[in-house]
């Protein structure tokens, strides 16, 4: 079975490479990089898909960034990602891919008039938060285009779609750039500098926002388990949508996250909360119930273990990471 992974060298792609190797997963993987193909270009994308002719596509490629990078670049987040997503879905149609696994995000859900915990069927019920509206709509387009793809029956073949929607992801090969990163890699980088220089730690916002953090290797495991279910012919529906989230009880405030990071670094200096920065969405609490239906025995890495692993990796590999 040929499995094409778009975005094969990003946060999730690198983790998937590691997990595939660790469990000796049976499959012929190709991890696509931006050097192989610019997925924003439809001709290049279709040609690449025709040449490789995958059975399964794991679509990870995306322009991704933290709340402040999204606020500064909503237009680019919409246009680049909408192009990538349409080109990937349409190329799946052209070559007759059997299963497409998409990665969405809980940040693309409506911000108001939604009932918590979030469930996949609420995705299109209202406007996303203004801070990442471009990214959110590009992913909603991916969701819609994939849904419509499952309705097309070309020469007795149909594409099965699995939409996996993780909560806030973090792990080894994250983007640690101080301007464009998400909170965990950004704060790991900042705390390491504050510790080295005996300076203050600058945190953005009030620290009151609530998040559920998912360790990236847990998402990679879920992706591989869905490929296994497909191989075993154990998936009945043509379209499956699941939030991938540790239990609701794992939700913590940004303030409590910062305390955990500081403890691991043994940083005891001053912490300054710069409230001139937005907190972004207050919360996006999600339930792990949807996924339990398919993978009842799944376990999640605790935030303490995940942070310890990630901080160790950061300290050991600083010079090779996106800083
Ligand atoms: P979000 O979940 O999409 O909002 O993504 P982020 O990971 O970028 O931000 C999560 C929360 O962390 C927000 O409430 C931010 O205000 C807060 N935060 C605190 N310090 C930082 C920082 O240095 N970088 C980022 N990206 N967020 C920070």
Confidence at residue 319, expressed as pLDDT on a 0 to 100 scale: 87
Find out whether 190 and 254 touch, Cβ atoms under 8 Å. Answer: no
CA distance to 24, 35, 106, 154, 278, per residue, from 208 (Å): 42, 40, 18, 50, 11
Confidence at residue 198, expressed as pLDDT on a 0 to 100 scale: 84
For residues 82 and 61, give the distance between their C-alpha atoms in angstroms, rounded to a whole number.
Answer: 11
DSSP states of 143-181: HHHHHHHTT--BTTB--EEEEEEESEEE-TT-B--TTT-
Confidence at residue 30, expressed as pLDDT on a 0 to 100 scale: 97
Per-residue pLDDT, averaged over 137-165, amounts to: 90
Per-residue pLDDT, averaged over 4-24, amounts to: 97
Q: Answer whether 187 contacts ligand 1 (Cβ < 6 A).
A: yes
Average pLDDT, the chain: 95
Would you say residue 120 has pLDDT above 70?
A: yes
Per-residue pLDDT, averaged over 20-28, amounts to: 95
The residue contributing the CA closest to ligand 1 atom 2 is 168
The rounded Å distance from CA 199 to ligand 1 centre is 21
Using alpha carbons, select from 185, 187, 202 the residue that is nearest to residue 310: 185
Reported as a single tens digit per residue, the pLDDT across 228-282 is 999 999 998 999 999 999 999 999 999 999 999 999 999 999 999 999 999 999 9
Would you say residue 217 has pLDDT above 80?
A: yes
273 is catalytic: no
The residue contributing the CA closest to ligand 1 atom 14 is 279
Least confident piece of the model among 155-164, 171-180, 196-205, 218-227: 155-164
Instruction: State the pLDDT confidence band at 61, using cuts at 50, 70 and 90.
Output: very high
Would you say residue 105 has pLDDT above 70?
A: yes
Confidence at residue 11, expressed as pLDDT on a 0 to 100 scale: 97
Confidence at residue 277, expressed as pLDDT on a 0 to 100 scale: 95
Find out whether 76 and 134 touch, Cβ atoms under 8 Å. Answer: yes
Query: According to DSSP H, which parts of the chain are helical?
Result: 11-22, 42-52, 67-72, 74-95, 133-149, 183-197, 216-231, 254-265, 289-292, 303-317
Confidence at residue 156, expressed as pLDDT on a 0 to 100 scale: 63
Confidence at residue 155, expressed as pLDDT on a 0 to 100 scale: 62
Q: Answer whether 280 contacts ligand 1 (Cβ < 6 A).
A: yes
The residue contributing the CA closest to ligand 1 atom 24 is 183
Reported as a single tens digit per residue, the pLDDT across 152-166 is 876 666 899 999 999
């Amino acid at each position: 079975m040929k499995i094409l992974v778009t975005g094969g060298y990003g946060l999730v792609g690198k983790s998937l490479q590691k997990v595939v190797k660790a469990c000796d997963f049976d499959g012929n993987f190709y991890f696509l990089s931006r050097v192989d193909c610019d997925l924003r270009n439809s001709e290049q994308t279709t040609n690449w898909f025709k040449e490789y002719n995958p059975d399964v596509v794991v679509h990870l490629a995306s322009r991704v960034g933290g709340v402040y990078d999204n606020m500064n670049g909503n237009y680019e987040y919409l246009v680049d990602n909408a192009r990538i997503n349409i080109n990937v879905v349409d190329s799946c149609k052209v070559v007759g891919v059997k299963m497409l696994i998409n990665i969405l995000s809980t940040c693309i859900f409506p911000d108001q008039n939604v009932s918590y915990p979030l469930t996949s069927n609420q995705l299109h019920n209202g406007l996303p938060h203004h801070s990442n509206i471009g990214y959110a709509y590009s992913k909603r387009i991916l969701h819609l285009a994939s849904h419509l793809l499952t309705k097309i029956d070309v020469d007795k073949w149909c594409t099965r779609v699995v939409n996996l929607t993780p909560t806030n992801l973090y792990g080894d090969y994250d983007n640690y750039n101080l301007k464009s990163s998400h909170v965990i890699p950004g704060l790991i980088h900042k705390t390491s500098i504050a510790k080295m220089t005996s300076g203050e730690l600058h945190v953005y916002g009030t620290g009151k926002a609530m998040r559920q953090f998912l360790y990236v290797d847990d998402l990679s495991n879920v992706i591989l388990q869905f490929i296994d279910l497909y191989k075993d012919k154990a998936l009945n529906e043509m379209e499956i949508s699941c939030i991938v989230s540790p239990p609701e009880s794992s939700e913590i405030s940004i303030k409590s996250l910062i305390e955990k990071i500081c403890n691991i670094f043994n940083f005891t200096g001053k912490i300054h909360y710069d409230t001139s920065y937005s907190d972004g969405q207050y919360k996006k609490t999600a339930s792990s119930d949807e996924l339990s239906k398919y993978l009842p025995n799944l376990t999640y890495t605790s935030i303490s273990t995940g942070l310890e692993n990630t901080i160790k990796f950061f300290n050991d590999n600083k010079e090779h990471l996106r800083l």
